[in-house]
Structure 1
Amino acid sequence: MANVLDTLLERGFIKQFTHEEETRELLEKEKITFYIGFDPTADSLHVGHFIAMMFMAHMQKAGHRPIALLGGGTAMVGDPSGKTDMRKMLTKEQIEENVKSLKSQMEKFIDFSDDKAIIVNNADWLLNLNYVDFLRDIGVHFSVNRMLSAECFKQRLEKGLSFLEFNYMLMQGYDFYVLNKNYGCIMELGGDDQWSNMIAGVELIRRKEQKPAYAMTCTLLTNSEGKKMGKTEKGALWLDPNKTTPFDFYQYWRNVDDADVEKCLALLTFLPIDEVRALGALKDKEINEAKKVLAFEITKLVHGQEEAEKAKTAAEALFGGGVDLSNVPTVTITRDNLGMALVDILTITKIVPSKGEGRRLITQGGVAINDEKITDFAIAIGEEFFVDGYMMVKKGKKNFFKVEIQ
């Protein structure tokens, strides 16, 4: 039987181990309980979390039991890792609402039936801790000198690290300790930016319980230049369809750089690795076919087959040739403009400088809407022309405009 570790390494998931050989042996011989933490700082997971969900899903498929830890307690403090500024403080009510939203999203990727996986909230044990008891029981095992040298605090030390945030490492270490005692959890997985916090939990269990504990970090989702992926003009690439539409989600992956296609296919889809390698090896125009597969597969995982089909069809209707949306100028009309003649819409949005110029261009076949040539300048533009809130106008051979309804 193949070791899940080989699958994870082959697909590019693993960045660091606390105990590589022991971990390999353990995953081969036993079915373990492991956990990944998600702080509910927003009401949706984003694509940065999606790689963690895939990490978790591969482990579950191999028979290991995931615990999805929602940080209702740690979110009250805020993780300083990878941040130059302190996070915005959330109210208890906001955090509780966010926890509910994340739970429903996770159920799409992880099977929680029959105790195959567990969702827990660290608010259950963190919020009612007695501070002095906690310091005596847990704080005594942490060296301040060592904590200050941790990578997760370095950036924050330059601007000033609050004592509130300094406690985050103790809390995350304590989470692992509680999950170990209550559920027999022996491994923590997480993003590579969490390495210092994860080691804290491993060492706490080994010191207090004299038991083995392990951690593996996952590579962060970055592009070929080392920048984090998943940022769009509108902000993060969310998994919630109300925050990022399935169409915009699909288009993001359709337009990734050629150099990032293979990595994204390996990390964010379940396609066999041979197929991933073959698609990643395509060059020039052919790589667009690999991008279509990537966009469809990820959208299917996040939003389901039906929404992925819709997004694919809409994308093909809007940009037969595949246009990079991020470079397309956006113009807006109001709902009051719906029903107006095409020539008027083009003039209002300044796509054409005048009605006369617009009429001439349209009648000569120089305008296409959603990749369909329109030669009637008086055609009424109604809502049916808009897919996911916008329509694409092509002027001449190369000029594209995205028309949105405000």
Structure 2
Amino acid sequence: MNALLDDLTWRGLIAQSTDPDALAAHLDEGPVKFYVGFDPTAQSLHIGHLVQLLLAQRLQRAGHLPHMLVGGATGLIGDPKETGERVMNTTDVVAGWVERIRAQVERFVAFEGDAAATMVNNYDWTGAMNVLEFLRDVGKHFPVNRMLARDVVARRLEEGISYTEFSYVLLQSLDFRELRRRHGVTLQFGGSDQWGNITAGVEFIRRSDQGRVHAVATPLVTKADGTKFGKTEGGAVWLDPELTSPYAFHQFFLNAEDAKVVDYLKVFTMRSREEIEELERATEAEPYKRAAQRALADDVTDLVHGVAEREAATAAAAALFGRSELSQLSPSTLAGVMREVGSVEVSGEITVIDALVTAGLVESRSAARRAVAEGGAYVNNEKVTDADLVLGAEHRLADAYVVLRRGRKTVGGVHFA
């Protein structure tokens, strides 16, 4: 087997492919031009997209040429969801999201060198196409019975699916053909939920151009219970630091469960097989040290946000639980941390007792007084001895925040408006 495919298989990154032997031979022939697409259906990508971004990086490191597609056209439509019709965003909104997502994508591949990446937008070839041209040149090659048999379409038929979303597969297939014609792209990859769209493009090229291309799907990354990895109580874990702070991002991966952390290291980091197997042995021998989780959290945060933000996130975690000085945190890092711990906005003067109650660290004022009396209440990591202490300007970090803690691990805070 091709060395690259062997590594991807070991990492669990290949769920399906059109013809493994043919793909291996194709990769061995020389640099392959490949593409992966991202639709701007939100203002940011999330960690589910990170699987594809890092796969593109792996292929580029092996000498293959990335074509990174941001779907200015398909983003106006939206791939069918199992839960119902998507909201149609305005062209201005989608155009803004295209630029934001393009900037995120650009950080993961190199646009210079022998395997320089190319950025493309499918609106360039779809926007000017008229409906008659689309129906004659594209629609003619798609049997409706096959389109109806697609899993997501079949599940949506009872409640109804619009012709717009039903036709999405034609647009994605057109992308593959246009990239083959314009740039010589011969490989597409994406998530396993896109396999029907991807293989439709392979078939479309065979029917319309008598061409042969290749496709790979990556598996859904899950938790030990089989549910999707990458969701929190607050929703998706975003790559945009304004939506998910670097602190929260780092903490998310740091809290990976022992049963799955090695799998996540294979998918989300560039560590070698030897390094990952060593971390696996260390985790089995001394799980309480969480060596694999720390490596995972550090590596992924470095990739997405940079070393400086990862160091700030690590420092914030230490400061939050009294292991270093809160005053050393930058205002932006502190603001991100306080968002994650759920700080509550207050105005005017407030006593530490009322602040503990307002922040939800205790159930009542009497419980707050007991916490102070027992030595278990902290303001900015300083033990509180006066239950009637008024939180003034001298207690505010970055002129706005007070960090509250009950005991060793229960943390909250207040934000002065």
Q: TM-score, normalised by structure 2?
A: 0.86
1:301 aligned partner: 303
Structure 1 residue 275: Cα displacement = 2.1
1:345 aligned partner: 355
CA contact under 8 A between 1:223 and 1:260: conserved in structure 2?
yes
2:251 aligned partner: 251
Structure 1 residue 76: Cα displacement = 1.6
C-alpha distance in structure 2 between counterparts of 1:329 and 1:298, whole Å: 22
Give deviations 1:265-315, integer Å, cap 9, x for gaps.
Answer: 111111222222332341474362321221111111110000001101111
Structure 1 residue 402: Cα displacement = 2.3
C-alpha distance in structure 2 between counterparts of 1:79 and 1:225, whole Å: 27
Letter in 2 for 1:268: F
CA contact under 8 A between 1:152 and 1:196: conserved in structure 2?
no
Give deviations 1:329-388, integer Å, cap 9, x for gaps.
Answer: 856242535xx553442254464566676455335422245666444553746697669x
1:174 aligned partner: 174
1:361 aligned partner: 371
CA contact under 8 A between 1:347 and 1:358: conserved in structure 2?
yes
Q: Describe the SS at the equivalent of 2:157.
A: helix
C-alpha distance in structure 1 between counterparts of 2:278 and 2:152, whole Å: 37
Q: Describe the SS at the equivalent of 2:202.
A: helix
2:334 aligned partner: none
1:263 aligned partner: 263
2:240 aligned partner: 240
CA contact under 8 A between 1:333 and 1:349: conserved in structure 2?
no
Structure 1 residue 9: Cα displacement = 1.1
Q: 1:335 and 1:102, CA in 2 relative to 1: closer, same or farther beyond 3 A?
A: farther
2:348 to 336, 349, 366: 336
2:193 aligned partner: 193
C-alpha distance in structure 2 between counterparts of 1:2 and 1:146, whole Å: 33
C-alpha distance in structure 2 between counterparts of 1:263 and 1:385, whole Å: 42
C-alpha distance in structure 1 between counterparts of 2:96 and 2:88, whole Å: 15
Structure 1 residue 14: Cα displacement = 0.8
Q: 1:390 and 1:35, CA in 2 relative to 1: closer, same or farther beyond 3 A?
A: farther
CA contact under 8 A between 2:380 and 2:403: conserved in structure 1?
yes
C-alpha distance in structure 2 between counterparts of 1:150 and 1:354, whole Å: 55
CA contact under 8 A between 1:84 and 1:155: conserved in structure 2?
no
CA contact under 8 A between 2:395 and 2:402: conserved in structure 1?
no
Structure 1 residue 182: Cα displacement = 0.1
C-alpha distance in structure 2 between counterparts of 1:94 and 1:58, whole Å: 32
2:406 aligned partner: 395
2:326 aligned partner: none
Q: 1:334 and 1:305, CA in 2 relative to 1: closer, same or farther beyond 3 A?
A: same
Aligned residues: 396
C-alpha distance in structure 1 between counterparts of 2:244 and 2:408, whole Å: 30
Q: 1:379 and 1:301, CA in 2 relative to 1: closer, same or farther beyond 3 A?
A: farther
Q: Describe the SS at the equivalent of 2:66.
A: strand
C-alpha distance in structure 1 between counterparts of 2:254 and 2:382, whole Å: 21
User: Which runs of 5 or more residues in structure 1 are unaligned?
Assistant: none
Identity %: 38
Larger deviation: 362-371 or 149-158?
A: 362-371
Structure 1 residue 253: Cα displacement = 1.1
CA contact under 8 A between 1:370 and 1:393: conserved in structure 2?
yes
CA contact under 8 A between 1:299 and 1:308: conserved in structure 2?
yes
1:280 aligned partner: 280
Structure 1 residue 178: Cα displacement = 0.4
CA contact under 8 A between 2:344 and 2:358: conserved in structure 1?
no
Letter in 2 for 1:138: V
Give deviations 1:22-43, integer Å, cap 9, x for gaps.
Answer: 1011112210100001101112
Larger deviation: 222-231 or 28-37?
A: 222-231
Pairing 1:107–2:106 present? yes
2:59 aligned partner: 59
Q: 1:341 and 1:140, CA in 2 relative to 1: closer, same or farther beyond 3 A?
A: same
C-alpha distance in structure 2 between counterparts of 1:119 and 1:91, whole Å: 23
C-alpha distance in structure 2 between counterparts of 1:210 and 1:290, whole Å: 48
CA contact under 8 A between 1:279 and 1:287: conserved in structure 2?
no
Q: 1:357 and 1:184, CA in 2 relative to 1: closer, same or farther beyond 3 A?
A: closer
Structure 1 residue 199: Cα displacement = 0.8
C-alpha distance in structure 1 between counterparts of 2:77 and 2:365, whole Å: 58
CA contact under 8 A between 1:202 and 1:215: conserved in structure 2?
yes
C-alpha distance in structure 1 between counterparts of 2:270 and 2:27, whole Å: 20
- Structure 1 segment 67-146 matched on structure 2, within 5 A: 67-80=67-80, 82-113=81-112, 116-146=116-146
Q: TM-score, normalised by structure 1?
A: 0.88
2:331 aligned partner: none
C-alpha distance in structure 1 between counterparts of 2:48 and 2:11, whole Å: 17
Structure 1 residue 391: Cα displacement = 6.4
Q: Describe the SS at the equivalent of 1:298.
A: helix
CA contact under 8 A between 1:254 and 1:291: conserved in structure 2?
yes
Q: 1:347 and 1:95, CA in 2 relative to 1: closer, same or farther beyond 3 A?
A: closer
C-alpha distance in structure 1 between counterparts of 2:238 and 2:201, whole Å: 29
CA contact under 8 A between 1:152 and 1:194: conserved in structure 2?
no
Structure 1 residue 48: Cα displacement = 1.0
